Amino acid sequence: MSTPIVEAIDIEKTLGEGAGRVQALRGVSLTLKGGEMTLLMGPSGSGKTTLLSILGCMLTPTRGTVRLRGETTTGASAEGLARLRRSHVGFVFQSYHLFPTLTALENVRLVLDVRGERGEDTRERAAAALTTVGLSHKHHAFPRELSGGEQQRVAIARAVVGRTSAILADEPTASLDSENGQAIMTVLAEIAKDPERAVLVVTHDPRTLPFADRIVRIEDGRIVGEDAGARRAIVTTEPEVPAHVP
């Protein structure tokens, strides 16, 4: 059985005040398990990014419980949430969020530096993460020297270098053409095979569907459905065994 990496239980989130008050999430429960890629899909304003931000400890819920690797975020201070985020969560964004004055290797290594991990070992780990995403030949390239797809690969390497358990990606293919979008999803799907890691992709992109183990649909702040993705269907569908004829 897959290990629960992130658990959200009866999450509610209210944003704004007064006339601008919005109920963004309404009793959402979701579990991300190791070895799975989950797509979170829904129309604009449905609560996708708000939920991702809460799962990643960037926002706190108005009500409900979030657990990362069994550790609850309830009552955690800002410092406590930051610690959980650094320890357990890697983010991938639509706009890459790379530092333009740092090389690919330095952008990846920076995550370890922020966590207080320094030394030659961190350089080796950053290099290994770039190799994982197919950029072993781009260590010294600056973001301006990389294509959009390559920049997103650096962002994925940065998300995984800290050995984080949950990879949360917000529209990672939205700025990419079809070929690069497929390449990015292939990388994320490979990462999602690790039973110690869960991958959640918030997306509108129908091109991502073949890579999913499951597809969760959200509307108006509520989970309204869940389907098995193509990868799970392939794995769980067993060929028929012909009956033995004596």
Q: With a cut of 50, list the residues of the chain below it in pLDDT.
A: 1, 234-246
pTM beyond cutoff 0.85:
yes
- The DSSP code for 45 is T
Q: Is residue 47 within 8 Å of residue 64, measured between CB atoms? A: no
Q: φ and ψ at 150, to 5 degrees?
A: -70, -40
Residue 74 lies in a domain: yes
Handedness of CA 176, 137, 123, 132 (dihedral sign): positive
Residue 193 lies in a domain: yes
Residue 244 lies in a domain: no
Tell me the CATH number at 8. Answer: 3.40.50.300
Q: Is residue 219 within 8 Å of residue 213, measured between CB atoms? A: no
Contacts of 28 (CB under 8 A, 6+ apart): 8, 10, 11, 12, 47, 51, 64, 218, 221, 222, 223
pLDDT digits (tens, 9 = 90+) for 16-53: 888 888 899 999 999 999 999 999 999 988 999 999 99
Residue 246 lies in a domain: no
Residue 95 lies in a domain: yes
pLDDT digits (tens, 9 = 90+) for 55-64: 999 999 999 9
Question: In this predicted structure, what is the pLDDT of residue 232?
Answer: 58
- The DSSP code for 141 is -
pLDDT digits (tens, 9 = 90+) for 136-146: 999 999 999 99
Q: Is residue 101 within 8 Å of residue 142, measured between CB atoms? A: yes
Residue 226 lies in a domain: yes
Contacts of 236 (CB under 8 A, 6+ apart): 228
Rounded CA gap, 201 and 184, in Å?
A: 11
Q: φ and ψ at 148, to 5 degrees?
A: -60, -40
Q: What residue type is 178 in one-letter code?
A: S
Residue 60 lies in a domain: yes
Question: In this predicted structure, what is the pLDDT of residue 153?
Answer: 94
Domain count, the chain: 1
Contacts of 225 (CB under 8 A, 6+ apart): 216, 217
Residue range of the domain that includes 185? 4-235
Residue 138 lies in a domain: yes
Question: In this predicted structure, what is the pLDDT of residue 181?
Answer: 92
Question: In this predicted structure, what is the pLDDT of residue 223?
Answer: 96
